[in-house]
Amino acid sequence: MAVMGARPATGFGFLGRRSQPRSIREPQRARAGHAGAGRRQRQASIAGLLATIAASAGLAFFYLSQSSHVAAVGYEIDDLNAQIALVRAEQQQLVLQIGSAQAPMTVIGQATNQLKLRPLDASAVSFARRGGATLTSRPSSEPAH
């Protein structure tokens, strides 16, 4: 047995409702004591409230995830800055070691001690002149041109 004015269920809450044709809705509005009108308004307000809560929760979750991501990136930047400082200090130490290794006294000491080289006598050096073919063996501080 069918009830007059009853309609089949189309869904849950505000999600599955279909709008009724104007001719069907008008008689229901005309009746002032209709019991389903108050319930429908409560369902709509509860559905709106639930939608607002869900949207707020989604926004809060998005904000928290972004905040934690920014904090993690900040910590990573701090770690990288510390690594840069360590590498720069190491670079300065290497520059100092290069400078001390290129010092003339260090080079002479390594040549005599490690390579067993000895300095030449000044009289053993001979220079050739540009124009002449004569070789002279003289100690001179003037280099050959």
* pLDDT tens sequence across 42-82: 788 898 999 999 999 999 999 999 999 999 999 999 999 99
pLDDT at 33: 52
Tell me the whole-structure pTM to 2 decimals: 0.43
DSSP lists the bridge partners of residue 136 as 127
Can you tell me the distance from the alpha carbon of 37 to that of 6, in angstroms, rounded to the nearest whole number?
14
- What six digits make up the tokens of 13? 């809450």
